[in-house]
């Protein structure tokens, strides 16, 4: 197989008609250029130049060879140029943490448009907070504010909460008009929750009844989408973000047992450690997310 560097050297010599000029253009020594030419002539068994006192004149075979390789070499040089240009382009890199629910509903349609290297780390909120503190990730996306560690928070949006249940459950008529009866009835139901803390249920209970719930959840599923899926085929209640269950409610595969006049919301944030080496990337990621919303 012919060495491409030999052909490149031959092409430059052909254009310069001089070993000295060719060596300058190739950034090589004159002996190195001569060695390439000799190796090529030896390989193909043909003389490529006639040497005169001032310049090199191509032989007929030299002219033929140049006509055959000139365009292919030019194309290869273009590939080399643009490949090198892309390789030299520096992209920011960041490791983000989020729940699978947030990724599927909020990030998946936008994240691939970012001109960044992104590694995604999934987990429940408790696991993600620990991962941020241990610096396994640089940025948490779509998380509720916490006071476990001294992390920084940047507001994303409000998230409305909805009480939902399985279609198989029969709702007593007008039960929502008597808080005491309603609470007693709800606490007897089978509950699906996101975690042991029951923060969503506590927020709903406090806003709706101004008291604390006495509920022992039967099923803990660290995914709201999985909870919604479970309620389609089982019997139970849950509190989930409204935007995650809207589609299921529209298709009537689950239902909202009562119509609440009061909107119950929670705030979602970006969370990061102020002292880290990725503040530039964090700012860039947040700015890109704002553009997509």
Query: What digits encode the pLDDT tens for the residues 45-104?
Result: 888 888 877 788 889 888 888 888 888 777 777 666 655 555 555 677 889 999 999 999
* Residue at which a domain ends, from 42, 70, 87: 87
Asked if residue 9 and residue 72 are part of one domain, the reply reads yes
Shared domain check, 211 and 187: yes
Of the residues 54, 87, 120, the one at which a domain ends: 87
Tell me the CA distances in angstroms from 77 to 38, 74, 80, 82, one per residue in order. 23, 5, 5, 9
- Residue 20 phi/psi, 5-degree rounding, is -60, -50
Q: How many domains does the chain have?
A: 3
Last residue of a domain, one of 45, 62, 87: 87
The pLDDT tens digits of the residues spanning 202-223 come to 999 999 999 999 999 999 998 9
Q: Tell me: do 144 and 275 sit in the same domain.
A: yes
Nearest Cα neighbor of 148 from 271, 50, 274, 10 is 271
Going by C-alpha positions, the residue among 120, 115, 67 that lies closest to residue 92 is 115
pLDDT tens digits along 181-204 = 999 999 999 999 998 888 899 999
Cα of 120 vs its chain's centroid, Å: 6
Supply the CATH number for residue 57's domain. Answer: 1.10.10.10
On whether both 162 and 17 belong to a single domain, the answer is: no
Q: 254 and 119, same structural domain? A: no
Q: How far is CA 100 from CA 64, 106, 131, 218, 268, in A?
A: 63, 10, 15, 22, 15
Domain that holds residue 22: 4-87
Same domain membership, residue 168 and residue 236: yes
- Note the pLDDT of residue 82: 56
Residues 107 and 18 in one domain: no
Same domain for 164 and 257: yes
% residues pLDDT > 90 (the chain) = 43
Domain check: are 210 and 247 in the same one? yes
Tell me: do 113 and 178 sit in the same domain. Answer: no
- Please indicate, yes or no, whether residues 261 and 272 belong to a single structural domain of this protein: no
Cα Rg, the chain, nearest whole Å: 34
Instruction: Identify whether residues 165 and 150 lie together within a single domain.
Output: no
Assign residue 108 the CATH number of its domain.
3.40.190.10
């Amino acid at each position: 197989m012919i060495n491409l560097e030999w052909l490149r050297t031959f092409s430059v010599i052909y254009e310069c008609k001089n070993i000295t000029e060719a060596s300058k253009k190739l950034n090589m020594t004159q002996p190195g250029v001569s060695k390439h030419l000799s190796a090529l002539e030896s390989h193909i068994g043909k003389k490529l130049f006639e040497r005169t006192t001032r310049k090199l004149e191509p032989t007929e075979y030299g002219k033929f060879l140049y006509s055959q390789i000139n365009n292919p070499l030019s194309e290869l040089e273009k590939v080399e140029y643009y490949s090198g240009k892309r390789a030299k382009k520096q992209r920011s890199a960041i490791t983000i943490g989020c729940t699978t629910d947030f990724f599927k509903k909020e990030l998946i349609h936008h994240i691939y448009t970012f001109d960044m290297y992104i590694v995604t780390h999934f987990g429940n909120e408790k696991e993600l907070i620990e991962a941020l503190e241990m610096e396994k990730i640089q940025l948490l996306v779509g998380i509720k504010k916490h006071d476990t560690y001294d992390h920084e928070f940047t507001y994303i949006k409000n998230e409305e909460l909805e009480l939902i249940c399985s279609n198989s459950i029969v709702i007593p008529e007008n039960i929502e008009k008597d808080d005491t009866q309603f609470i007693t009835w709800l606490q007897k139901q089978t509950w699906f929750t996101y975690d042991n803390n029951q923060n969503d249920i506590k927020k709903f209970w406090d806003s709706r009844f101004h008291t604390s719930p006495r509920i022992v959840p039967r099923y803990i599923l660290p995914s709201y989408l999985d909870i919604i899926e479970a309620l389609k085929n089982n019997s139970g209640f849950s509190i989930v973000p409204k935007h995650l269950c809207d589609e299921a409610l529209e298709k009537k595969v689950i239902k909202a047992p009562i119509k609440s006049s009061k909107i119950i919301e929670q705030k979602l944030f970006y969370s990061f450690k102020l002292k880290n080496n990725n503040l530039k990337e964090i700012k860039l990621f947040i700015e890109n997310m704002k553009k997509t919303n």
